[in-house]
A and B are shown apart, each in its own frame.
Chain A
Amino acid sequence: MPDGLPTEIDLTRPSAARVYDYFLGGAHNFEIDRQLAEQIASMTPNLAATMRSGREFLRRAVRVLLDAGIDQFLDIGSGIPTVGNVHEVAQAANPKARVVYVDIDPVAVAHSRELLAGNDLTGVIHADLREPERILAETRQLGLIDFSRPMGILLAGVVHFVPDADHPDAILATLRAAAAPGSFLVISHSTFEDQPQEMLDAQRLSARTDTEIALRSRAQVTGFFGDWTVLEPGVVHMPLWRPDSPSDVDEHPERFGAFGGVARYDQPAG
């Protein structure tokens, strides 16, 4: 067993990945997950919408990366890839696009492997974001991603599961350092900025899954991109990030309580 990963599968505890699947309308979940999901939803009616918003942000971001010519993706914290997954979005645009999914939840990993069986351009790694070297090493071992070429590193709704004590800045730095110039980094991350109290209360509930959420400021989230060039419109509430149409943005884009942003690694001048 890799260090830091669970050595037992406890189906009596809810899993973040399965709760997320439920919020997206999936049935890849158990009673215990649905109970928690309903409990969270009853306190914050926005939450299901937040998760859908996060999924839409990811879809839009992947599209932007595809348009920029990116054809290999490392999706860390992918959860249960039900619908609207990166490989679906990417391979719809470019059938040769390669995707490596990484998740800490062994059930999510097993499910992903089953779902992706027969798709030779995808791979699944069971690992913890807190061990970025291990993720990079195993990704290299899979041989799907060419690290000498630009890639897209996707961290959708996952960095907020890493507490400050585990040095998320260092983790991000490690991941960025592995990427070739021209690569992109996509992050969505929960925040306390512009949020009502019930949102902040609800995040405490999430402690009942194996992971607790660390809400961070826009500045902190921006910091995760390091010296990479943050694309327009910057680190913003998710619906504001390059919406499909202006009508997709309502009057309260902040209600989803999460920032989204994309940055590119530009070759240093000279």
Chain B
Amino acid sequence: MAAVGDPIGADVGRGGAEGYAADWARAVRRLGFVPLSAAETERLLLAHTVRLAQAVRTEPFTARPAEEVGRALVEAHLTEPRALEWSLRALGTDFPRRVLAADGWPADLTERIAAVQGGLAAGYARALRDRTFAQQERIARSAWQARDEVEQALRDSEARFRAVFTGAAIGIGIAGVDGQIIDVNQAFADMLGYSIEELCRINVAALFHADDAAGMWELYQQLIEGKQDAARVEKRYHRKDGSVVWTDLAVSLIRHDDGRPRFTVAMIEDITERYELQQRLRFQALHDPLTGLPNRTLFFETLGRVLDAAAAADRRVGVCFLDLDGFKAINDSLGHDLGDRLLVMIGRRLAECVADHGHLVARMGGDEFVILVDGGEDAVAVAKTALAAVAAPVHVGDQQLAVSASVGIVECPVAETSASELMKAADTTLYWAKAAGRGRWAVYDPERSARDMARAALVAGLPAALERGEFVLHYQPIVSLLEGRMLAVEALVRWKHPELGLIGPDRFIGLAEETGLIVGLGEWVLRTACRDAERWWREFPDARLVVSVNLAARQADDPAIVDTVADALATSGLPEELLQLELTESAVMGSAGEPLRSLHRLADLGVRLAVDDFGTGYSNLAYLRRLPIHCLKLAGPFVEGIRADGTDVAADHRDERIVDALVRLAHALELWVTAEAVETGVQAERLRALRCDTGQGRYFGAPSPAETITARLRGGAA
């Protein structure tokens, strides 16, 4: 600030100086920025006015104070050029008149005023130049300093990032879009077993691995073309020492400011252990822990792959489904431990015997193994090899076991099957092989399978058919060979199938026996036959027509059979002596190996008992003698043998002698004899000659509905 306290000289007109300073202050404030209030500005400029006035008057004259005023104006920030212009002009025009008293004017006033103007201008200019230099210097220094600070901050930041890069446990690598590696950190180098310098000479393309995921390099290509910003894959790398490291690789694209791809940054994490654990878990998930063989899951995966891959090609696929015979017995008798050891051995043998051919052997569970025969090789040959391998004696502990297996073989073009169809067929075929006996193989036969399936469908339909009344009875006459009169009829069941038409008993009775449905069906046959027979008896009492009803083994074995028969008789009102029950030899003997308990009780009801198909089963003549049997029905083959059509006369004679012997035997036991399957008159004649009592067969009439029998009785009566 200026020297405000300068005493105002007596020779200076105070009022003049104040007025001049006030005008000066107003002018500089109007023309430029003054960082002072109006009063402060006025006070400052009054001091300068006084100083200039003194300078003009002082002897000897010097312009030096004017220079100092010029400098002071700059220091007070009165630097507006037009303010300087005003100041200099006012010095020349108003200053002497207003500030200097007229009597005090020096003689050389004009020169002095000019010198003061010059001095003020010089001081002002010098100060302004100094100040400008100083401020320029300062602002430039500030700019550089600010820049330094920013750069320092950037360096600090870079150092921090560098520390992260260098010290990271994760591998980080930077490469150009040309694939040239620019920098990697130590972790990256360590993971791949190279030095940082070595890696920086490598192109990422050199890190290719044959097992790289499909599409991985295309993805990388898209990345460096800027079509993708990041990619993440599991990748295997060859380490420098040749070993392999599995990594989780994440690659990101770094772009230029204008968006062009600039670098790729790869981060890799060593997941070898994790990967191996996964592999181990996967192996465990796909292999049988006991035998180490592929399990069911892996088998189906592989089968699916074979079917998919070869679908287009005209290839064939084969499956051998192998099951040990009687393994349960081995397990039960020798214990599970030995059973398991046996399975391990069998598994190993199977794997060894087909391994050379590249077939897959899997354990499906229990004692079931399956061999996938790929590439159109002979599946039967494979099955034979497998059976032979199994059949070799097995030493388990101190036991020597003879093991056998059964194999179901399916082999067909890939295009015609699916995994589930194939395995279902294999299962069916294995069942066939098992049913055929131990140590066998069977090849899938679609027609047989179709039959099996049709049978199965029939079985499934039986109970409903019985409920819906789809069964009917036909009757076949049994005729006296002596007098030609119809003495009895055999009741034969037929199924009026809604889709398949009339079905004979040969197609469903076996099934009904297997399933146990025969009990219900048999009861229906019994009651229906009794009802029909009762009607005939009432209408034709003299005919005394007997109805003969077949009793299946299971039916006869049922303790309730006696009550059922009694009830059928009571309900229908049929005289008991007009009912004959036919049992096969095996049914008579019963399942316990001794004659049926209920046989006597049935006989006690008063019904007749006949042995059906006599001579084809187990005929224990000793029992026959003691049992309450009334009639023997000679099986068809004996009767067929005496057709006498001349082809084999010797055989004819042999059969005729057998029939003769049987008839004699029966008569000796006081039993009637009925010959079945009598087709011709010659046969009837011969049988009569052999003293056979009754005959049954086409010659005497085919099985026919009850009405036909009624008509025949009516005709006979007429």
Contact = CB atoms under 8 A, between A and B. Distances in A.
Interface stretch (B30-38, B305-313, B414-422, B681-689): B30-38
Contacts of B564: none
B139 A7 contact: no
A9 interface: yes
A59 B138 contact: no
Contacts, number: 88
Q: For B38, B79, B139, B150, which residue has the most chain A Cβ atoms within 10 angstroms?
A: B139
Given A25-B79, A244-B39, A110 B135 contact: no
Given A11-B143, A114-B145, A115-B138, A27 B39 contact: no
A1 to B, nearest CB: 5
A114 B33 contact: no
A244 to B, nearest CB: 5
B153 interface: yes
Interface size of B as a range: 20 to 34
B143 A107 contact: yes
- Interface of B, secondary structure class, is helix
Given A1-B157, A25-B80, A114-B145, A8 B139 contact: no
A83 interface: yes
A158 interface: no
Interface string A39-72: 0000000001001100100011000000000000
Contacts of B147: 9, 11, 106
B546 to A, nearest CB: 113
Interface in A213-263: 244-245, 247-248
Contacts of A7: 150, 153-154
B135 A27 contact: yes
Nearest to B40: A244
Contacts of B33: 23-25, 48, 51-52, 55, 83-84
A55 B35 contact: yes
A6 B153 CA distance: 11
Contacts of A27: 131-132, 135-136, 139
Given A25-B77, A114-B142, A244 B37 contact: yes
Contact of B150 (A8, A26, A114): A8
A59 B143 contact: no
Contacts of B37: 59-60, 244
A9 B35 contact: no
A80 B138 CA distance: 11
A114 B136 contact: no
Contacts of A11: 143, 147
A28 B138 contact: yes
A114 B142 CA distance: 7
B146 A109 contact: yes
A29 interface: yes
Contacts of B38: 244-245, 247-248
Contacts of A247: 26, 38
Given A1-B157, A25-B77, A83-B35, A6 B142 contact: no
Nearest to B147: A9
B698 interface: no
Interface in B137-196: 138-139, 141-143, 145-147, 149-150, 153-154, 157
A25 B35 CA distance: 11
Contact of B153 (A1, A18, A88): A1
Contacts of B150: 1, 6-9, 106
Contact of A111 (B26, B80, B142, B157): B142
Contacts of A80: 139
Interface string B69-91: 00000000101100000000000
B146 A107 contact: yes
A30 B77 contact: no
B21 to A, nearest CB: 15
A87 B288 CA distance: 87
Interface string B116-143: 0000000000000001100110110111
Nearest to A18: B139
Contacts of B138: 28, 111, 114-115
Contact of B149 (A59, A106, A248): A106
Nearest to A92: B1
A59 B35 CA distance: 8
A118 to B, nearest CB: 14
Interface in A1-16: 1, 6-9, 11
Contacts of B132: 27
Q: For A1, A111, A245, which residue has the most chain B Cβ atoms within 10 angstroms?
A: A111
A121 B380 CA distance: 104
A51 B35 CA distance: 12
Contacts of A26: 135
A111 B141 CA distance: 8
B589 to A, nearest CB: 103
A88 B35 CA distance: 10
Contact of B146 (A30, A52, A110, A248): A110
A52 B77 CA distance: 12
A30 B139 contact: yes
A6 B151 CA distance: 11
A29 B135 CA distance: 8
Contacts of B141: 110, 114
A178 B108 CA distance: 67
A248 B35 CA distance: 14
A25 B28 CA distance: 13
A1 B139 CA distance: 22
Contacts of A83: 33, 35, 77
A9 B144 CA distance: 9
Contacts of A110: 141-143, 145-146, 149
A107 B39 contact: no
Contacts of A51: 33
Contacts of B139: 18, 27-30, 80, 107, 111
A110 B140 CA distance: 10
Interface string B20-49: 000000100100110111110000000000
Nearest to A15: B143
A18 B138 CA distance: 12
A28 B135 contact: yes
Nearest to A112: B142
Contacts of B157: 1
A51 B80 CA distance: 14
A115 B138 CA distance: 9
A115 B141 CA distance: 11
Nearest to B79: A25
B34 to A, nearest CB: 8
Interface in A97-146: 106-111, 114-115
B81 to A, nearest CB: 9
A23 B138 CA distance: 18
A29 B138 CA distance: 10
A9 B143 contact: yes
Nearest to A108: B142
A115 to B, nearest CB: 7
Contacts of A59: 35, 37
A25 B157 CA distance: 38
A18 B142 CA distance: 12
A80 B139 CA distance: 9
B39 A106 contact: no
Given A84-B33, A84-B35, 8 more contacts: A8-B150, A11-B147, A26-B135, A29-B139, A83-B33, A107-B143, A110-B141, A110-B143
14 contacts: A1-B157, A8-B150, A11-B143, A25-B80, A28-B138, A28-B142, A59-B35, A107-B139, A107-B142, A107-B143, A110-B145, A115-B138, A244-B39, A247-B38
State the 10 A-B residue pairs at the shortest beta-carbon distance, nearest first: A84-B35, A111-B142, A27-B135, A52-B33, A106-B146, A110-B146, A110-B142, A28-B139, A9-B147, A27-B132
Interface of A: 1, 6-9, 11, 18, 23-30, 48, 51-52, 55, 59-60, 80, 82-84, 88, 106-111, 114-115, 244-245, 247-248
Interface of B: 26, 29, 32-33, 35-39, 77, 79-80, 131-132, 135-136, 138-139, 141-143, 145-147, 149-150, 153-154, 157
